């Protein structure tokens, strides 16, 4: 278990995948989620959107941050043809997203915020993913599993659908799942050893 130098690490995310990553990093941590509105101003591009939402998630904790607390917020978006694809609201939206991503490349962007009592920092990672041709039946069967509804862009690279249909990735694999683990761990170590 990593020595946190007296820091209490709070993961402000309900994502089961991020929870697993934190467990694998061997960090003592707690989960605390404050629901926030994830809307963003018109005109922001991919990275700016993810950073904006991460900041909103951190703002919810702003008045209650204690000394030696590190609150970590994260947001992942899929950026394709100058559009942000978040989590689909229903099956129809999930199908439309997957049909748009078929036989094309897109970016998966995760921003991660680090809030302390007297400081705020944010990092981000961009990975590139390419899907092969997708047919309607494959998409419909995948949607029936329910998995697309809690994932940005309506897919999980770790799902059998992703494994079977993604032809290439460039960049961090863990980022595509929802957390750029090496970058996050490096930042946490910097913060806890500096203080």
Long-range contacts of 94-97 (CB under 8 A, 24+ apart): 94/143, 94/148, 94/149, 94/154, 95/139, 95/140, 95/143, 95/154, 97/148, 97/153, 97/154
What is the Cα–Cα distance from 109 to 118, expressed in whole angstroms? 27
Alpha-carbon torsion, ordered 58, 63, 65, 70, to 10 deg: 10
Q: Which residues are catalytic?
A: 75
Query: Nearest CA to 78 among 98, 60, 58, 56?
Result: 98
């Amino acid at each position: 278990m990593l020595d946190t130098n007296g820091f209490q690490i709070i993961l402000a995310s309900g994502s089961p995948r991020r929870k697993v990553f934190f467990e694998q990093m061997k960090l003592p941590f707690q989960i605390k989620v404050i629901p926030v509105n994830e809307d963003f101003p018109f005109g922001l591009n991919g990275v700016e959107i993810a950073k904006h939402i991460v900041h909103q998630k951190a703002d919810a904790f702003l008045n209650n941050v204690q000394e030696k607390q590190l609150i970590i917020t994260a947001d992942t978006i899929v950026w394709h043809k100058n559009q942000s694809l978040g989590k689909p609201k229903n099956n129809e939206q999930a199908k439309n997203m997957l049909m748009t991503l078929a036989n094309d490349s897109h970016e998966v962007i995760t921003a991660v915020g680090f809030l302390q009592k007297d400081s705020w920092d944010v990092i981000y990672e961009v990975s590139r993913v390419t899907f092969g041709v997708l047919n309607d039946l494959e998409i419909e069967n995948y949607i029936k599993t329910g998995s697309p509804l809690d994932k940005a862009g309506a897919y999980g690279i770790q799902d059998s659908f992703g494994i079977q249909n993604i032809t290439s990735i460039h960049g961090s694999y863990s980022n595509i799942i929802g957390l750029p683990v090496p970058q996050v761990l490096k930042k946490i170590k910097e913060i806890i050893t500096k203080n």
